[in-house]
Chain A
Amino acid sequence: MPILEGEGVTKYFGGLAAVSNVDFYVDEGEIVGLIGPNGAGKTTLFNLISGALVPKSGVIRFQGANITGLKPHRICKMGIARTFQSVKVFANMPALENVMLGSLFGAPNSVAPAEAVREATALLDFVGLSAVGATPAKDLTLANQKRLEVARALATKPKLLLLDELMAGLNPTETAEAMALITRIRDQGITIFMIEHVMKAIMSVCDRIMVLHHGVKIAEGTPQEIATSKKVIEVYLGE
């Protein structure tokens, strides 16, 4: 049974169908990639899953339960965590407190403050930020802010992690580190659904890829199938 599935998910912005009748599924333990040109509706789809937006029609199920239209905090507590395309860290708070908030509020079971500190410290270590726990998030580099978002998301003990362009704006070394991080997260048993523009990353890391174009799903398959799909190449390069 898929951990996440959507049926006929649709969202309009004014007259524009940002996401149009999209069916999708993510199996447990998979890393699924979501690609498509700018404006294809990728982030909108993530916003619909995480509860930031409510779909006009369609159903989204997580572990069999209907989560369509639930508030973001409820969805987070159920086990879906996310990061943002434009980083949204709590800028004036120390990195450690950023992550602690995830433990304190996002986890399915409530956690005592002392335990939250321990978990946050371990997670900062896991993403490679143990040296900057006391630094306000705004003073971190972009790469580190992105890792901080991942740590904060992991602190909510998710079963499914939505990564929205984790690698955008990172240099090649940082990209490689981010890819390694994704694999390590999967090894912990967390399912990953990721939007990415860095093709090398998505091709090597993902088990399966889904392509959106103008809000419509135009292709789905293994990285090889997607890389050789005529339709996908047309969308990206023109006919």
Chain B
Amino acid sequence: MNAVGVDLKKLRAPALLLVLLLLLIALPHARPGYAVVLVYTILMYIVLTVSWVLFSAPTGYVSLAPAAFFGVGIYTSAILGMKLPLPVVICIGGLASAFLALLVGALTLRLKGIYFAIFTFGLVELIKHFVLWYELKYTGTRGRFLLPVGNNTIYYVMLAILVALLLTTYFIKRSKYGLALQSIGEDEEAAAHTGINVTLLKIITFAISAVFTGAAGAIWAIRLTYIDPYIAFDVNNSFMPVLMAIFGGLGQLYGPILGAVVFSFLREVLITRFPYYYMLLIGTILLVSILYLPNGLVGLIQRWRRRIWGGQHANT
């Protein structure tokens, strides 16, 4: 391979991403209306999925807490939305979620495997019912209303959150901390004995991933216009990122993104076309993909690539 070829190949991915970003920025001008709503819904699911992947994929700690972080963002927005400017509200939503993640992480990240998953799942229920109790006892109302803003504002805020998330994920993955997170997933005891402060690294990464989930919740709240604890802390928001990530494939960063795009698009189409059967269809698609695509869409792409380019074997 010549030097120019290498340079071009290196530039290809960032160039492609830049074009994609420009297209996304231009979209509301070219296709206002439903397309904007559809795309920011997809962007929201990408944010949820990539935030989940940021922590759970390398470490192997399956977190079902996204709905809790998302809901905290939603409530931040509902409480502060009319008092503070939007960007501040989004930031506070993210920070509030991160604070919750720090707290929960410090308490529970010593739990391994299924115990951690169940605890985080319980957390969503706990906060949901706590908020419900609080609202009924102290505010006397179950839900809250939010002042709507334009679809384009929601769109651009969601896009900005996603870009920030992708940059963060990229730099963590490339840094030594990305390597350390992976080693925790491989063998936590060995990681600790190699000098890695496993507890601290897990808690901080968990909190970073919660920042983006919370921020997405804060802007999503405005789209919802009416929220109550059942809407804000919907457990579906915990399972969707996991499903989308697995559907896309966990190995590469583009896997979960692809999974979130395809899955949420599919979901949107199925809801509008087959409102009565859509859950059935989603379930079937999931079953089939788990059975036949153990490595997700990425696995499928890699299999095709191998068929075209021929196999590669390493020797020991």
**Chain A interface (Cβ within 8 Å of chain B)?**
50-52, 71-73, 76-77, 81-82, 84, 88-93, 97, 100-102, 104-107, 113, 116, 132, 134-135, 139-141, 144, 152, 156
Q: How far apart sit A230 and B196, CA to CA, in the bound complex (Å)?
A: 44
Given known pairs A113-B176, A135-B316, A141-B316, the reply for A105 and B187 (CB within 8 Å) is no
18 contacts between A and B (CB under 8 A): A50-B193, A52-B189, A71-B192, A73-B195, A73-B198, A81-B193, A82-B193, A90-B191, A92-B182, A93-B179, A93-B186, A97-B179, A100-B179, A101-B179, A104-B179, A116-B176, A135-B316, A156-B194
Which residue of chain B lies nearest to A137 when distances are taken between CB atoms in the complex? B186
A90-B195 CB under 8 A given contacts A113-B176, A141-B316: no
State A73–B189 Cα separation when bound (angstroms). 10
Which residue of chain A lies nearest to B193 when distances are taken between CB atoms in the complex?
A: A72
B189 touches A88 (CB 8 A): yes
Contacts of B179 in A (CB 8 A): 93, 97, 100-101, 104
| CA–CA, A113 and B180, complex, Å | 13
What separation, in Å, do the CA atoms of A1 and B32 have in the docked complex? 78
Min C-beta distance of A74 to chain B, whole Å: 8
A105→B189 contact, CB < 8 A: no
Across-interface contacts of B194 in A (CB, < 8 A): 73, 76, 101-102, 105-106, 152, 156
Given known contacts A105-B180, A113-B176, A139-B316, A156 and B190 CB-to-CB distance under 8 angstroms:
no
Q: Are A52 and B193 in contact (CB under 8 A)?
A: yes
Cβ of B30 within 8 Å of any chain A Cβ, yes or no, is: no
Known contacts: A90-B186, A92-B186. The answer to whether A132 contacts B316 by CB under 8 A is yes
Q: Is the pair B190, A93 in contact by a Cβ cutoff of 8 Å? A: no
Known: A84-B190, A90-B187. A77 touches B195 (CB 8 A): yes
Inter-chain CA distance A88–B189, complex, in Å, is 8
B316 touches A156 (CB 8 A): no
B171 to chain A, nearest CB (A): 13
B197 CB within 8 Å of chain A: yes
B182 — which chain A residues lie within 8 A by C-beta? 90, 92-93
B176 A104 Cβ-Cβ under 8 A: yes
User: How distant is the Cα of A91 from the Cα of B185 in the complex, in angstroms?
Assistant: 10
Residues in A neighbouring B197, C-beta threshold 8 A: 71, 73
Assess whether B314 is interfacial by the CB under 8 Å rule.
yes
A140 to chain B: which residues have CB within 8 Å? 316
* Minimal beta-carbon separation of A64 from chain B (angstroms): 21
Which residue in A71, A93, A144 is a CB contact (below 8 Å) of B183? Answer: A93
Which of B182, B192, B195 has the most A CB atoms < 10 Å from its CB? B195
A102 vs B193: C-alpha distance when bound (angstroms): 9
Q: Are B316 and A90 in contact (CB under 8 A)?
A: no
Distance in angstroms from A42 CB to nearest chain B CB is 17
Taking the closest CB of chain B, its distance from the CB of A221, in whole angstroms, is 30
A105 and B316 in contact, given A92-B186, A113-B176 (Cβ under 8 angstroms): no
In the bound complex, residues from chain B placing their C-beta under 8 Å from that of A92 are 182, 186
Closest Cβ of chain B: how far from A67's Cβ, in Å? 14
State the CA gap A156–B194 with chains docked (Å): 7
